[in-house]
Amino acid sequence: MDGSIALPAGRAGAAAFPGDRLRRAAESVAIPVGALVVAMVLFGVFMALTGKNPLDVYALIYRGGFGSGFAWQNTLQRAAPLILTALCVALPAQAGLIVIGGEGALVLGGLAAAVVGHAASGASPLAAQIGMALTAMFVGGAWIALAGALRHYRGVNETISSLLLTYIAIALFNHFVEGPLRDPGSLNKPSTRPIGEALMVGHLPGMDVHWGLAYGVAFCALCYVLVHYTVLGFALRIVGGNVRAARLAGLRVGWLVLVSCFLGGSAAGLAGMVEVAAVHGSANASLIAGYGYAGILVSFIARHNPIAVVPVAVLVGGIGASGGLLQRRLDLPDATVLVLQGIAFMVILAAETLYGRLRLFQPREQRR
């Protein structure tokens, strides 16, 4: 190939050699998996230091998360909101934004869904569920789009503003649930009025997992198509890659930022609707369970790839599901799972430095 012009190694398309595309794909799987293994070793050392046998701990995590049909159902049940809140990070990330306000969009979406569900108590379940889902998605989307708008029009850093918006959202949620929207019948746990058994979202056929999982997987598939196979997605990735180039190319950067934030927020809002309409039956403090924060972790491990979000969410959901078992069997605090997640997050972020530096995964032109 001497004398030829070296093509820049594009993400997937411009593979000059067969196998280069595969190498890229292998790189984006091998590095996170390798980092997870390192994180597990570090967590094992930590467990050993606290006097527990790491192998026992991992065996229990496996059993609690993936060891039985019941464990799998518990895991998938937790994975459903994680998939959706991870999209709240992954979609704005395509446009180069780090949004960490999924928790706020989730609680407000859940609150909106509970209000609509109660108001629509006479309607047919399907219509009411669609109404709840759309309202929740709109509210969640608008909330995150606010962070995007502040970023674009006022130059306010979206990471900080989305987090502040989360605290404000939780305060609003508490205000409404304990004040104007409180069900007088909910005595020791303030809740909104229940949406009623008839309107609850049911379970997937053949298993004890609610439809929220299907919503999440479908949302991910749609996002994947949107990001990788549409003009809008292409434009988003240009904005994420280089804002100045995007402006020069005449792209409407502000509009694209708003769209990506709105779509991400609507995913988190839908997660709130799922939690209300499939699990709790009304909006109450159980909604503030940290799914929004765990979703950040999921999206970063998945490198903001909408399809990779699904397996990662199942993995993180499984680790979360095993927390109870660890507590009962080994007398470990419930924060054990948080420590594992924190270590995994740090190692995976540090492993970011390896991309493009491992010879095995580079296109052959660049390896010379």
User: Which spans of this chain sit near another protein (rule: CB under 8 A)?
Assistant: 98, 100, 150, 152-157, 159-161, 163-165, 167-168, 171-172, 174-175, 178-179, 293, 296-297, 300, 333-339, 341-343, 345-346, 349-350, 352-353, 355-356
Nearest CA among 163, 108, 102, 128 for reference residue 299? 102
Taking the complex as a whole, the smallest distance from the CB of residue 322 to another protein amounts, in Å, to 15
Question: Taking a C-beta distance cutoff of 8 angstroms, is the pair 190, 283 a contact?
Answer: no
With respect to another protein, which residue has the nearer C-beta, 217 or 243?
A: 243
With respect to another protein, which residue has the nearer C-beta, 58 or 345?
A: 345
* Residues found in the chain: 368
With respect to another protein, which residue has the nearer C-beta, 8 or 180?
A: 180
Taking the complex as a whole, the smallest distance from the CB of residue 367 to another protein amounts, in Å, to 19
Q: What is the DSSP string of 331-364?
A: ---TTHHHHHHHHHHHHHHHHGGGTTT-GGGS-H
Taking the complex as a whole, the smallest distance from the CB of residue 168 to another protein amounts, in Å, to 5
Q: Tell me how far CA of residue 45 lies from CA of 39, 41, 55, 332, 358, in angstroms.
A: 10, 6, 11, 15, 27
Taking the complex as a whole, the smallest distance from the CB of residue 296 to another protein amounts, in Å, to 6
The DSSP bridge partners found for residue 210 are: 203
Query: Reduced to 3 states, what is the DSSP secondary structure of residue 210?
Result: strand
What the block records as the tokens of 175 is 């205000």
Nearest CA among 304, 353, 361, 308 for reference residue 35? 353
With respect to another protein, which residue has the nearer C-beta, 34 or 196?
A: 34
Taking the complex as a whole, the smallest distance from the CB of residue 94 to another protein amounts, in Å, to 15
In angstroms, rounded to a whole number, what is the distance separating the alpha carbons of residues 274 and 200?
9
With respect to another protein, which residue has the nearer C-beta, 156 or 289?
A: 156
Taking the complex as a whole, the smallest distance from the CB of residue 298 to another protein amounts, in Å, to 12
Taking the complex as a whole, the smallest distance from the CB of residue 327 to another protein amounts, in Å, to 10
In angstroms, rounded to a whole number, what is the distance separating the alpha carbons of residues 224 and 255?
20
Please state whether 242 falls in left (phi above 0), alpha (psi between -120 and 50) or beta. Answer: beta
Helix and strand numbers, DSSP H then E, in the chain = 15, 0
Taking the complex as a whole, the smallest distance from the CB of residue 190 to another protein amounts, in Å, to 11
Residue 49: its H or E element: helix 20-49
Q: Where would I find the H helices in 50-152?
A: 54-66, 69-94, 102-119, 125-149
The amino acid that residue 73 corresponds to is Q
With respect to another protein, which residue has the nearer C-beta, 104 or 140?
A: 104
Question: Taking a C-beta distance cutoff of 8 angstroms, is the pair 111, 177 a contact?
Answer: yes
With respect to another protein, which residue has the nearer C-beta, 137 or 139?
A: 139
Taking the complex as a whole, the smallest distance from the CB of residue 164 to another protein amounts, in Å, to 5
With respect to another protein, which residue has the nearer C-beta, 152 or 210?
A: 152
Please state whether 62 falls in left (phi above 0), alpha (psi between -120 and 50) or beta. Answer: alpha
With respect to another protein, which residue has the nearer C-beta, 128 or 343?
A: 343
